[in-house]
Amino acid sequence: MIQKKYGLDPESSLISRLTTTPDDVMAIFREAGMAPTEHQMTKEELRIVSDAIAVLPPLHQRVLKRHLKSISFVDNMPNTAITAPITKDEPTKLFHIAFRAGILHQTISEWVTEKEKTCYNKDDSTFSISIQAGLMSALTYVLLHEGTHVVDGSLGLLNTDTIAGRPVADRFRADFSKNIWGDIRTHIWSFPDSLVVKSIFRPGGRRFELSEAERVYQGLSQAPFVSLYGSASWHEDLAELLTVYHLTQMCGQPFQVIVKKNETEIFRYDPASSMAVRRRFAGLERFYRKTG
Domains held by the chain: number: 1
pLDDT of res. 162: 47
Domain ranges, residue 262: 2-288
pLDDT of res. 105: 97
Least confident of 39-43, 91-95, 155-159: 155-159
> Which backbone phi and psi does 232 adopt, to 5 degrees?
-70, -45
Is the pLDDT at 137 greater than 80? The verdict is yes
Closest CA to 177 of 198, 147, 152: 152
pTM value is 0.94
User: pLDDT tens digits, residue range 215-224?
Assistant: 999 999 999 9
Is the pLDDT at 62 greater than 80? The verdict is yes
pLDDT of res. 170: 65
Cα 40 to Cα 43, 100, 102, 202: the distances in Å are 10, 12, 12, 35
Average pLDDT, the chain: 93
Q: Quick check: 250 and 20 in contact, CB under 8 A?
A: no
Cβ-based neighbours of 202, under 8 Å, separated by 6 or more: 185, 231, 232
Question: Beta strand 68-75 with 95-100: parallel, antiparallel or unpaired?
Answer: parallel
Mean pLDDT of 14-32: 93
